[in-house]
Structure 1
Amino acid sequence: MTSPAAQTLDDLLLPAAPDLRQAVAEWLRHLATERRLSPNTVEAYGRDVRIFLTFLQGHLGAPASLDDLTALKPRDLRAFLAARRAEGLVSRSLMRALASSRSLARFLARSGRGEASAFAAVRSPKIPRSLPKPVSPAAARALADADTRAGEEREGWVLARDAAVIALLYGCGLRISEALSLTRAQAPVEGVDRIEVTGKGGKTRQLPVIPAVQASIAAYLADCPWTLAPSGPLFVGAKGGPLNPRIVQAAVARMRGGLGLPDSATPHALRHSFATHLLARGGDLRTIQELLGHASLSTTQIYTEVDAARLVAVHQQFHPRARARA
């Protein structure tokens, strides 16, 4: 059976010399097995490196080898970034493109294939710091309510299904991939008040499930016309197969139009809302970190800035002296 890393390499059709192709294959296996990155992340890293090597082929006039990579100068990397920016990439995408190639360079150095020092000499593009954009508690509840879409010409079980997924995202702070990876046997119904999910890096965490979310999932299961195998997906599509996340994204997009919500109101924004609303109600930052599955507390601390910004906005809107100055 072909390994995910090898299959990714085959799909990449790398424009590189054989020695570099082999090194990239080993690097992808390292990301998948030792660092335990998700298949989607490994695929994204490989895609970024393919784009970089495609640039090098044109830049150098031939497919790059290991020696070519270690001989790169900072000006070569700056030429790559300039070319990508000319194609319309924003700073965040440029940073990721450079980070992927840097990861490969570090792997080559650790495995004794040479030091590509140019990567350490070039700064990553600066990106503007942006805060997560949660939705209000009322909006989150409306998105998770099947009655919000009562006028749509869709089967009732589909509306109940989408509402159950959204309720999980907001009620448990899940990523959409985590919610859709749940099996029927893991459904938090019939007295089950917690779930175990596998997040980034293959790390598992247990999460409590509040009664409102349990009721939403129970309503979906009661209406679902398909017989769900215990080891099969909890949430299924119209034909009984695994539910595509784009279906949930489209459902949220339709509702935010009717509710007058901004484009930032996405399924992932419900995860931000979960953390922000818990913090606003006195939740402990360390506990929120564990619930979200963040590896570092510094990642979770950004929600303190969101809450501070909210308090400032409320103060400016309602304090008499603030309104007098406006």
Structure 2
Amino acid sequence: MMAAEAGAARNTLNAYETDLRGSSGVLEGKLATAKRADLERLGDGWAQLARSTVARKSAALRRFFGFLADEGLRSDDPSEALPRPGSARPLPKSLSHADIGRIFDTLERGVATQKPLAFRMAALIELLYGSGMRATELVSLPRASVRRGSPFLILTGKGGRERLVPISDRALDAVDKWREHVPEDARWLFPSGKSHLSRIRLYQLVKELAANSGIPPDRVSPHILRHAFATHLLEGGADLRTLQTLLGHADIATTQIYTHVDSARLVALVNARHPLVDAPGSEA
């Protein structure tokens, strides 16, 4: 069901299998027939685990018992007995507009040297920050995937879900300059050896770029540039549904983590646009 109906990615399927098998082992193979007391005991055994781990295990089991109920294999759902640690998900790290400015200043100085690797770095960052791609999606782009005259790119992300990703004119220009140095028979836009640039190497290159831009390297990564893409779009007026589509999130709840970034603008919007602002007595 998780694979065929929910379209879960392989890593998600593996995580669910691990959690379900582990819980079944604790309950001596009687997970499917577990009672509330069994699940309470199971949850008690997670007391020393991290909050995020408990949340993941509970979610897997709730999905499992929900499946049993949907299929008519159980008439009850004991999963309410599982712990609900709440969301302690940290706010996504991001970068200020000034940080982004310093990074692009460094890229421009590099491009001025006309060195091929400087063109590659510029293309990588333009696509990361300008399109919000995941690192894996970026490094595995085919050579001909980004084309002049095509402002969108179709990507296959987590769970095999396809989405349209916008490609800015800046990114197109950067890719064009880099592609001149990529062999025409190359399969990948960012080739390396017999394959493409690795995620680890991309991570290292981004850290080096941060250091050269006067930004502590621990504050910058490919994923943080993706967060900056989303954060700055939201600040510019994009709505969450648009962000959800651009980022390829299956659930809007994942995208809602970004609502922290623009609380001041939202408050100002309510104060300025709410229909009661100009109503008599609104000063009170």
TM tier, shorter chain? 0.7 to 0.9
Residue 266 (structure 1) aligns with = 221
Q: Give CA deviations for 1:53-79 in whole Å, capped at 9, x if unaligned.
A: 45x1xxx5xx51455646862332223
Residue 175 (structure 1) aligns with = 134
Q: Which of 23, 26, 34 is the matching residue for 1:52?
A: 23
Against the structure 1 CA distance between its residues 283 and 75, is the aligned structure 2 distance closer, same or farther, given a 3 Å change threshold? Answer: closer
Higher relative contact order (CA 8 A, sep 6+): 2
> What is the RMSD of the two structures over their aligned residues, measured on CA atoms?
3.4
Equivalent-residue separation in structure 2 for 1:101 and 1:149 (angstroms): 53
Equivalent-residue separation in structure 2 for 1:162 and 1:70 (angstroms): 56
Equivalent-residue separation in structure 2 for 1:303 and 1:110 (angstroms): 33
Against the structure 1 CA distance between its residues 216 and 48, is the aligned structure 2 distance closer, same or farther, given a 3 Å change threshold? Answer: farther
The letter for the 2-side match of 1:291 is L
Residue 8 (structure 1) aligns with = none
Residue 14 (structure 2) aligns with = 43
CA contact (8 A) 1:69 1:116 kept: no
CA contact (8 A) 1:171 1:213 kept: yes
Q: Which of 162, 166, 172 is the matching residue for 1:214?
A: 172
Partner of 1:76: helix, strand, or coil? helix
Equivalent-residue separation in structure 1 for 2:168 and 2:77 (angstroms): 52
Residue 190 (structure 1) aligns with = 148
Q: Which of 71, 82, 96 is the matching residue for 1:136?
A: 96
Q: Give CA deviations for 1:41-100 in whole Å, capped at 9, x if unaligned.
A: 22232233344345x1xxx5xx51455646862332223312xx2xxx421122112212
Equivalent-residue separation in structure 1 for 2:197 and 2:51 (angstroms): 33
Residue 275 (structure 2) aligns with = none
Quote the offset at 1:166 in angstroms.
2.8
Question: After the TM superposition, which residues 52-91 of structure 1 pair with which residues of structure 2 at under 5 Å, given as runs?
Answer: 52-54=23-25, 56=26, 63-65=28-30, 69=34, 73-82=38-47, 85=48, 89-91=49-51
Residue 247 (structure 1) aligns with = 201
Equivalent-residue separation in structure 2 for 1:271 and 1:249 (angstroms): 13
The letter for the 1-side match of 2:171 is V
Against the structure 1 CA distance between its residues 160 and 103, is the aligned structure 2 distance closer, same or farther, given a 3 Å change threshold? Answer: farther
CA contact (8 A) 2:24 2:30 kept: no
Question: After the TM superposition, which residues 24-39 of structure 1 pair with which residues of structure 2 at under 5 Å, given as runs?
Answer: 30-39=1-10
Partner of 2:4: helix, strand, or coil? helix
Residue 65 (structure 2) aligns with = 105
Against the structure 1 CA distance between its residues 267 and 51, is the aligned structure 2 distance closer, same or farther, given a 3 Å change threshold? Answer: farther
Partner of 1:81: helix, strand, or coil? coil
Structure number having the greater helix percentage:
1
Could you list the runs of 5+ residues in structure 1 that have no partner in the other structure?
1-29, 151-155, 313-326
Residue 270 (structure 2) aligns with = none
Quote the offset at 1:170 in angstroms.
0.8
Equivalent-residue separation in structure 1 for 2:41 and 2:265 (angstroms): 44
Against the structure 1 CA distance between its residues 110 and 298, is the aligned structure 2 distance closer, same or farther, given a 3 Å change threshold? Answer: closer
Corresponding position: 1:234 with 2:189: yes
Superposition TM-score, scaled by structure 1 size = 0.67
How many pairs were matched up? 262
Superposition TM-score, scaled by structure 2 size = 0.75
Equivalent-residue separation in structure 1 for 2:92 and 2:148 (angstroms): 35
Quote the offset at 1:36 in angstroms.
0.9
